[in-house]
């Protein structure tokens, strides 16, 4: 029964290799996207830290995303 599932009447090689290629491609895209996001978060946090105290306060009050990025960035340091 399991052998029939794996072989799939001779098409198993194509089906399973397609699954493997698809999962590998999704994994690579996920890794690259996550790496790029972390890079941009660090750059953004650096820019926020360079602002004066008054401007930083204004940005953090007006942007929920900025406050979340800064809070997650400070935890990871």
- Residue of higher predicted confidence among 74 and 49: 49
Structurally, how many domains does the chain consist of? Answer: 1
Please tell me the pTM assigned to this model.
0.68
The parent domain of residue 45 ranges over 2-76
- Cα-flanking dihedrals φ and ψ of residue 11, to 5°? -100, 0
> 6-22, pLDDT tens digit by residue?
899 999 999 999 999 99
> 29-70, pLDDT tens digit by residue?
999 999 999 999 889 888 888 888 888 888 888 888 887 877
């Amino acid at each position: 029964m399991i052998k029939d599932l794996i072989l799939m009447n001779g098409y198993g090689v194509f089906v399973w290799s397609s699954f493997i290629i698809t999962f590998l491609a999704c994994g690579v895209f996920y890794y690259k996207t996550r790496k790029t996001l972390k890079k941009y978060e660090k750059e953004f946090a650096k820019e926020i830290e360079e602002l004066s105290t008054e401007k930083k306060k204004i940005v953090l009050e007006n942007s929920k995303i900025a406050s979340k990025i800064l809070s997650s960035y400070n935890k990871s340091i």
